[in-house]
Amino acid sequence: MSNRSDAHRIYSWDHCQTLGYESYTGTMPISLAYSVDADDAFMFHALRAGGVDTRGLEFTHHRGDTSELNALAQGGEIDVVAISVGAFPGVAAKYLLLPHGASVGRGFGPVLVARRPMALADLAGRRIGIPGLSTTAWLVLQQMQTGLLPVVVPIAPFARIFECLDDGTVDAALLIHEGRLIYERRGYARIAELGEWWQAETGLPLPLGVNVIRRGLGPERITLVSAILRDAIAYALDHRDEVIQVLAAEKRGEAALAETALLDRYLGMYANEDTRAMAPDARRAIEVLFDRAAKAGLLPADCRIDWAP
């Protein structure tokens, strides 16, 4: 059985052994899970397109919404997962943080929007559409305002969060990924910009998404996979215009997501030199985020942060 024919299925290494992968390919497949959004597709593109030397390893790909990916990491079976920084404390016993592949907001980040202008405090006791309970955006928003009532609205399908705003299912929406770039053209009012608030509070960038790698792979395999992923990110950055054209051709259910100008702007924000290698201030910001959240009673106080090479 070839793992290429099962490219969208997810297997742990133990499961792969029972399926006979090792005896067939001579190596162990590495399972990847990442979001449907452009920044994740950007950094993993070279692995799908054969743009880098995978050094004898084969990679399986699964794409899902942010909340699903955070839940998959909780299971601890996927080798590499793109997750919310806010979800890491819950999976730290099973995963290491990778030093590349991050989404970092420098003075910008998720936005909270509503159908009409209002103050953030006016939303206390009201329903807020959020992309997931373990997302960084929700973790930060809770530090900005208490008493919000979360309603989880997955990021896929893309238009669902706007539909929930329009039909009154939620009173405001917390937008991540490309949604933060198109809310104005849809006529919504911005209530708060989380990256601006975070920078004013801490003087640091806002770390939003990270890639994590399963501890059970072992040191040698972790080092090898990390190096291949680093090469894939470098390939994407070096072939940026080419990759943008590929991403623009993807069908994601929303015409705006195929606009090359929007993709260019979005990738400039979230797939850049911070993605190539996490800067010291971004690493520090993760520690500060967890410390502040723990003091607010939103996270446990003993999160273990270990970095892969």
d(Cα 80, Cα 142) in Å, to the nearest integer? 28
Nearest one of 109, 102, 115, 166 to 141, comparing CA atoms: 109
Out of 62, 100, 177, 239, which one is annotated catalytic?
177
177 is catalytic: yes
Nearest one of 94, 100, 300, 51 to 207, comparing CA atoms: 100
CB burial of residue 159 (10 Å; 0-12, 13-18, 19+)? middle
Q: What is the dihedral of CA 104, 106, 107, 108, to 10 degrees?
A: -40
Q: Which residues pair with 86 in a beta bridge?
A: none
224 and 171 Cβ atoms separated by less than 8 Å: no
Neighbours of 12 (CB within 10 A): 16
d(Cα 86, Cα 84) in Å, to the nearest integer? 5
* H-state helical runs in the chain: 13-19, 21-25, 38-49, 66-75, 136-144, 160-166, 179-182, 194-202, 219-238, 240-248, 260-270, 273-276, 280-295
Angle at 99 between CA 155 and CA 37, to 5 degrees: 20
How far, CA to CA in Å, does 94 sit from each of 24, 81, 216, 219, 236? 28, 12, 7, 13, 28
Cα 276 from chain centroid? 15
Token duo for residue 21: 């992968």
Q: Which residues fall within 8 angstroms of residue 304, CB to CB, at 6 or more apart? A: 92, 93
Which sequence positions are flagged as catalytic? 177
